[in-house]
Amino acid sequence: MKAPPRFITFEGPEGSGKSTQARRLAEWLRRRGQEARLTYEPGDTALGQRIRELLLHREAEMQPESEFLLYSADRVEHVASVILPVLERGGFAISDRYVDSSYAYQGFGRGLSLEWLREVSNGATRGLSPSLTFLLDLPPEEGLARFSERDRLEREPLQFHERVRAGYLKLAAAEPRRFVILDARRQPDELARRIAAEVSRRWRV
Ligand code: TYD
């Protein structure tokens, strides 16, 4: 049987601690002698940085379709120049957010058609799906409470974040083998242990 691509993503709301857990997993893998490239969306390429500024620091209104297409353009660059080269070398690529963020925020949150999002996303990612996705689930009021300065999406009303959370849970229910749902309110050490155990079990590292 062909080994599944070593592509792992972290998803969840702002303030769920997913960036910390992604970093800890990368460090854990490196300690075990594995190549692990930690990456994120939006913004981990030269063009992606410019797109990130447009997306997160923009004062003027933006149509949800434009928003999604900008995230997708960032993703094209991300897959082509960061993720695929690592996977081709046999390394682990660990991304803080990926297509599920678009389904959750632009699809469930903003109400764009999931069918359209999937079609564009398949093209943007060349069909590359993560083998394993950790969803750090957290009630929105708890995540948002951890921020004082909010960026454009963090300023959305609570109902928006409720839809995003429910959307993530639906995505996870539809693909139970790919998703591992974790309660983000657990202690960081406990979460890190659980994550490492899952990766170890799947790839025998
Ligand atoms: P960022 O500042 O990177 O932080 P975090 O990942 O901790 O939230 O914020 C990225 C924002 O972009 C976040 O509010 C979610 C949003 N986003 C989307 O709406 N769609 C997407 O496809 C992606 C990748 C991100």
The tokens for 61 are 């209104």
* Residue 114 or 14, more confident: 114
Which ligand 1 atom lies nearest to the CA of residue 42?
A: 24
Tally the C-alpha atoms within 13 A of residue 18's C-alpha that lie toward its C-beta. Answer: 29
| CA–CA gap between residue 140 and residue 14 (Å, rounded) | 8
Interatomic CA distance for residues 77 and 44, integer angstroms: 9
pLDDT of 152 higher than 70: no
- The residues that bridge with 132 in the sheet, in sequence order, are 8
How far away, in angstroms, is 41 Cα from ligand 1 center? 7
Its CATH architecture, for the domain 7-203, is 3-Layer(aba) Sandwich (3.40)
Q: Which residues line ligand 1 (CB under 6 A)?
A: 14, 19, 41-42, 71, 96-97, 101-102, 105-106, 151, 153
Distance CA 125, CA 119 (A): 10
Give the closest residue (by CA) to ligand 1 atom 22. 102
* pLDDT exceeds cutoff 80 at 170: yes
* Predicted model pTM: 0.95
Band (pLDDT 50/70/90 cuts) for residue 145 is: confident
Summarize pLDDT for 56-80 with one digit per residue, the tens.
Answer: 988 789 999 999 999 999 999 999 9
- Residues 146 and 78: beta-carbon distance below 8 Å: no
CA trace torsion 48, 129, 123, 38 (10° rounding):
10
Tell me the average pLDDT of the chain: 95
- Are the C-beta atoms of residues 34 and 205 closer than 8 Å to each other? yes
Q: What tens digit of pLDDT does each residue of 1-50 get?
A: 567 999 999 999 989 999 999 999 999 999 999 999 999 999 999 999 99
Confidence class for position 146, pLDDT limits 50, 70, 90: confident
The residue among 58, 44, 117 whose CA lies nearest residue 86 is 44
Res. 148: pLDDT tops 70: no
